[in-house]
Structure 1
Amino acid sequence: MLKRIVPILRIFDENKAREFYLEYLGFQLDWEHRFEPDMPLYMQISLDSIVIHLSEHHGDCTPGAALRVETDNLDALHGALRQKEYKNARPGIEETPWNSREMTVTDPFGNRIIFVETSAE
């Protein structure tokens, strides 16, 4: 019955959101919507099988959310992000006590995306 979850993250600045999610992380813009030209933006972005909604609407969600995204090649993702030299983030990889490797990036609005690679045992 259930298919997937699509998180909604709060954003406050369209240009910063595009720079972070589209240029830095490499998501693609699927669609965007405004009720009128001067109204808040709501958009869908995706990368591989991950779909996220970004919203400027104050009632949709609260800033400061955290998402955990599984990956099977954290080193490649880390290398690709480091090459982009994004001025607001230089994420590192952390080895956790719970047998995973993680890289956390924080968007300009306080939302965290934690990319996780678990150890095969």
Structure 2
Amino acid sequence: MNIVFQQTIPVLRIFDVAKAKEFYVDFLGFAVDWEHRFHEKAPLYMQVSRAGLILHLSEHHGDSSPGANVFIWMTGVEALHAELIAKGYAYNCPSVEKTFYNSLCMKVVDPFHNTLQFNEEIKLDGEA
């Protein structure tokens, strides 16, 4: 039997649902796919997604540690950057930088100190 990994979904720790939605939905443009609580006063666990990228956000203390760093390969970094800058979000003003590993990288830090690194490979002349 062959082993096939289907997908990786990072779980990021959050502490405030309103702040998480302001950042991930309003600023980054993710959609909330679903939310789960075991009961009304229980911590929230939710899934957000955008253009094939799925993240799980959790208020549960044992699910993750604040300060995670998620490396994301993608295309359209500069378009995403322009979109985010146009929003004028008061708490984050990312830039795009060329990296030593031949990519464009835009880092954004969420209100809970988790970093998302959006990376696009720089194509060399003649590459498809």
Q: Same fold (TM over 0.5)?
A: yes
Aligned to 2:61: 58
Unaligned runs of 5+ in 1: none
Write out aligned runs for 1:75-94 (5 A). 75-94=78-97
Identity %: 46
User: Aligned letter for 1:106?
Assistant: V
CA drift at 1:97: 2.0
Partner of 1:47: 50
* Structure 2 unmatched runs, 5+: none
Structure 1 segments, 4+ long, off by >3 Å, are: none
Please give the alpha-carbon distance, in whole angstroms, between the structure 2 residues aligned to 1:86 and 1:94: 20
* TM-score of the pair, normalised by structure 2: 0.91
Cross-structure match for 1:74: 77
Q: Please state how far the C-alpha of 1:54 moved relative to its aligned partner.
A: 0.3
Aligned residues: 121
1:96 is displaced (CA, Å) by 1.4
User: Which deviations, in whole Å up to 9, do the C-alpha atoms of 1:53-89 show, x marking residues without a partner?
Assistant: 0000001110111111122111111000001111100
Deviations along 1:20-73, one digit per CA (max 9) or x if unpaired, are 000000000000001111110000010011111000000111011111112211
C-alpha RMSD over aligned residues: 0.8
Per the normalisation by structure 1, the TM-score is 0.97
Q: Select the residue among 20, 28, 34 that pairs with 1:25.
A: 28
Deviation at 1:7, TM superposition (A): 0.8
| 2:85 maps to 1:98 | no
Q: Which has the larger radius of gyration?
A: 2
